[in-house]
Amino acid sequence: MADRKAAQTIAAAHGVAQDAAFGAVIPPIHLSTTFQFPGFERAGPYDYSRLGNPTRDQVADTIAKLEGGARAVMLASGMAALDLALSSLLPGDLLLAPHDCYGGTHRLLSLRSARGHYRVAFVDQTDREALSAAFAGKPKLVLTETPSNPLMRVVDIRDMAERARAVGARLVVDNTFLSPALQQPIALGADLVVHSTTKYLNGHSDVIGGAVVAAEAALGEELAAWANTIGVTGSPFDAYLTLRGIRTLFVRIERQERNAAAVAACLAAHPRVGRVYYPGLATHPGHETAKAQQSGFGAMLSFELTGGREAVRALVEALQVFTLAESLGGVESLIAHPATMTHAAMDPAARATAGITDGLLRLSIGLEAEDDLLRDLGRGLDAVARR
Ligand code: PLP
What's 142-168 look like in SS3?
A: EEEECCCCCCCCCCCHHHHHHHHHHCC
| Cα(234)–Cα(238) distance, integer angstroms | 7
Residues 6 or more apart whose CB falls under 8 angstroms from that of 328 comprise: 177, 199, 300, 334, 336, 362, 364
- C-alpha torsion sign, points 212, 218, 222, 225: positive
pLDDT score at 97: 98
- Distance from the first to the final alpha carbon of the chain: 52
132 and 77 belong to one structural domain: yes
What pTM was estimated for this model as a whole? 0.97
- C-alpha torsion sign, points 66, 331, 300, 142: negative
Residues 6 or more apart whose CB falls under 8 angstroms from that of 310 comprise: 387
Per the structure, how many domains does the chain have?
Answer: 2
**CATH number of the domain residue 269 falls in:** 3.90.1150.10
197 and 267 belong to one structural domain: no
Amino acid letter at 174? Answer: D
Axis-axis angle for helices 236-246, 54-67 (nearest 10): 40
pLDDT score at 1: 54
Ligand 1 centre to CA of 64 (Å) is 19
Tally: H helices and E strands in the chain: 13, 12
Domain edge (last residue) among 223, 246, 269: 246
Residue 307 CA, chain-centre distance (Å), reads 30
Return the DSSP state at 95. Answer: E
Structural domain of residue 229, as residue ranges? 4-246
179 and 267 belong to one structural domain: no
For the chain, 387 residues long, give each residue's pLDDT as a single digit of tens: 568 889 999 999 999 999 999 999 999 999 999 999 999 999 999 999 999 999 999 999 999 999 999 999 999 999 999 999 999 999 999 999 999 999 999 999 999 999 999 999 999 999 999 999 999 999 999 999 999 999 999 999 999 999 999 999 999 999 999 999 999 999 999 999 999 999 999 999 999 999 999 999 999 999 999 999 999 999 999 999 999 999 999 999 999 999 999 999 999 999 999 999 999 999 999 999 999 999 999 999 999 998 889 999 999 999 999 999 999 999 999 999 999 999 998 889 989 988 999 999 999 999 999 999 999 999 999 999 998
347 and 236 belong to one structural domain: no
Closest atom of ligand 1 to CA, residue 198:
15
Ligand 1 centre to CA of 280 (Å) is 22
- Dmax over CA atoms of the chain, in Å, equals 77
Partners of 173 in the β-ladder:
144, 193
In this structure, which residue's CA is closest to atom 5 in ligand 1? 102
150 and 195 belong to one structural domain: yes
Q: What angle do CA 188, 289, 67 make, to 5 degrees?
A: 30
pLDDT score at 347: 86
| Cα(333)–Cα(205) distance, integer angstroms | 11
176 and 80 belong to one structural domain: yes
Is ligand 1 within 6 A of the CB of residue 83? Answer: no
239 and 264 belong to one structural domain: no
Is ligand 1 within 6 A of the CB of residue 74? Answer: no
118 and 13 belong to one structural domain: yes
Q: How many residues belong to the chain?
A: 387
| Cα(387)–Cα(289) distance, integer angstroms | 39
Is ligand 1 within 6 A of the CB of residue 364? Answer: no
Domain edge (last residue) among 202, 231, 246: 246
pLDDT score at 365: 98
| Cα(76)–Cα(50) distance, integer angstroms | 11
Sort 164 into a burial class: Cβ within 10 Å, 0-12 / 13-18 / 19+: buried
| Cα(228)–Cα(237) distance, integer angstroms | 17
Is ligand 1 within 6 A of the CB of residue 59? Answer: no
